[in-house]
Amino acid sequence: MQGWQIRVRGQVQGVGFRPFVWQLARARGLRGVVLNDAEGVLVRVVGALGDFAEALRDQAPPLARVDAVEVAAVVLDDLPEGFEIVASGGAGAETRVTPDAATCPACLAEIRGEGRRRGYAFSNCTHCGPRFTILQSLPYDRARTTMAPFVMCPACRAEYGDPADRRFHAQPIACPDCGPRLWLEAGGVEVAGDAIAAAAKRLKAGEILAVKGLGGFHLACDAANAGTVDLLRARKRRPAKPFALMAREGDLERIVSVSPGALAALRDPAAPIVLMPSRGVLPETVAPGVAELGVMLPYTPLHHLLLDAFGGVLVMTSGNLSGAPQVIGNDEARDKLSAFADAFLMHDREIARRLDDSVVRVDPPMVLRRARGQVPGTLPLPPGFETAPQVVAYGGQMKAALCLIKNGQALLGHHLGELDEALTWEAFQQADADYAGLFDHHPQAVAIDLHPDFRASRHGAKRAEALGVPMIAVQHHHAHMAACLGENLWPKDGGKVAAIVLDGLGLGPDGTVWGGELLLGDYTGFERIAWLKPAALIGGDRAQLEPWRNALVRLDAAGLSDLADRLFPEAPRDLARQMAMKGINAPLSSSAGRLFDAIAACLGICPMRQSYEGEAAMRLESLASETGPGPDLPVVAGEIDPAPLFQLLAANEPPARIAHALHASLARAFATQAAQLIESGRAQAVVLSGGCFQNAKLATLTRKMLAGQRILTHRSIPANDGGLALGQALVAAAKLEGN
């Protein structure tokens, strides 16, 4: 028979796309089949197509993302009399895997209603529920997920097979009779009775619970109980880092100021943690020294039921020892979280891969941590990269994430963490094997950071050698620039940009540590135009932990050694100065992150030691409530000298004014230099990248200084090292294709 073969590419598996096609075809009287396969969704059909192909794109299900609908005339045989969904064809992975999605309104109403799923913690349908966290291999079918052990009961089987039901071909379908089971456990013994009610009672009594979610365990407690929050801090050894919160939508306005944009982000199927201004209602110990709270809505039926029963706001932080990966297994939780949790709210559905909660800000819009709900969604490559070879890139040492390029798409992996931590390193290796297998990836090149001693770099070098493929080392800040270009679909031949890249550190080709740079370049190369005047990182890595070291060297350089002596009387200043003078374990660095640490230390903000990465800078941003331009920073032969900022300290300016001046002066200094590149015609746009641009005040001020210019920023991938691998992969692909 003469017919049509229609290929649908994109995020089209696990989103109810096949039942959607079935209903569309039946309504039009078409005959044929639809199936999942290695490339997406395949439709074979005979009959008058009409607007069928257009409807596949325009009327797609809520979680679908259609990249392409390709129609070809073919000769077909062995088609059924009507239209059917048939078994998936072939292994492989040329299509996207759907991220996990928050509970939809229909399922939420169901668990609060009177039907058979009332109070059931694992309700889901084609529009919501677990996806990536339960997927073990492609194509996406129940047998290839951690739902495989749960045999559907007759009632669920009927829903699964009914095209009129929203659970038609919903792979994680479940009910109390046949699906996962929830229980509360204390002291290694299951607690009798309603697990949700018992858990809520314990939370109200001030206990700390380990709660099994989608991508791992959380540690939960009453956010309004300062004593319990302090106890959690003591047990978790997390003295000051802000805790994430979970709250019902009706409780939000009481604790944070919610903008329309923030509410939209909270309601997104990804259900990320959203940073919002605190109203100061909750105890200070929830987020010491910062003006924002990170809040997420309940995103599984279990969370909704627990919040309903508890009736308040919960701390909901990763179930781990600070710095270690999130716990995902029940036995692992009993072993590793028993010192933290008084009881465990557990279930028997396995988690296929650990995923932290994503973190976003909406003003200005940015992703701070790309994880649950956002991965493994793919990103299209910019024009000019259509024929790019398969590349794997391994990112950096901090906020590790890897990236795969294949078939015109980039898959940026989930946030893993700091690779110096042994368990995080294990998770990194597992993610490498996991993504390669899941997406049938066969790299033709490996991209790494220029720093050869990063664990990710060493891993990449070994992999390239084992595969016999080229290894391309990419300078850290060049990768940041390329990542921002790629996210904004800047064409491969789109011309050069002026990239302001401000972060903590990255090895420069001159052997010094960079971190406050203005680069002029594109995907294939760059030149360094301006940079912060270098200062010694006294003690190497210890300078990142102990802000006084950065303050000392900057104050000395500004001719304010006496002030340094007064501010840090207990610090080993003489030894530190000798190290800086002789260059012993004191590499020169232009790091903007360390400049923030230096000013913070001078203002008495955790001067001797930070308890978490970015603590000094975050507190400094919250302190910067003044307005004004700040002093001009002189530029000599490309070096931007921050000494005038330290003169403000000597003049006893108010701390809030000094904190603001740092943001304003730094923004103006780099923006002025970048604008000159645009005006001279050497650059076509300005890129803002690097972890310092997670600072909302700095990002906003820099954009204002560049008003009228074309500005490229990060919105869907992190400006920090979590986006680094995307830039590495693009640079490597551009260089390979240029040879």
Alpha-helical segments (H) within 367-454:
422-438
Taking the CA atoms of the chain, what radius of gyration do you get in angstroms? 27
Element housing 346 (H / E): strand 343-347
Sequence-distant (6+) residues with CB within 8 A of 561 are 555
Any residues with CB less than 8 A from the CB of 264 and at least 6 apart, and which? 362
Helix axes 592-602, 655-679, angle to 10 degrees: 160
Retrieve residue 739's tokens: 């040879």
Q: Phi, psi (5° rounding) for residue 285? A: -65, -15
Residue 578: count of CB within 10 angstroms of its CB: 13
What separation, in Å, do the N-terminal and C-terminal C-alpha atoms of the chain show?
A: 48
Helices (H), ranges, 503-650:
542-545, 547-557, 561-567, 573-582, 592-602, 615-623, 643-650
Query: Of residues 36, 124, 225, 720, which has the active-site annotation?
Result: 36
Nearest to 522 by CA among 473, 482, 476: 482
Q: Judge whether 36 counts as a catalytic residue.
A: yes
CA–CA distance, 15 with 126 (Å, rounded to integer):
5
Distance CA 219, CA 234 (A): 13
Alpha-carbon torsion 598, 603, 607, 612, what sign?
negative
List the catalytic residue out of 18, 166, 455, 554.
18
720 is catalytic: no
- CA-wise closest residue to 455 among 396, 511, 401, 399: 396
Burial 140-170 (b: 16+ CB within 10 A, else e): bbbebbbbeebebbeebeebbeeeebbbbbb
Structure-token match 């979970």, residue found: 246
Reduce the secondary structure of 465-527 to three states and give it as a string.
HHHCCCEEEECHHHHHHHHHHHHCCCCCCCCCEEEEEEEEEEECCCCCEEEEEEEEECCCCEE
Backbone angles phi, psi at 674, to 5 degrees: -65, -40
Residue among 350, 347, 321, 346 nearest 336 (CA): 321
Q: Which of 510, 443, 435 is nearest to 476 (CA)?
A: 510
Residues acting as catalytic residues: 18, 36
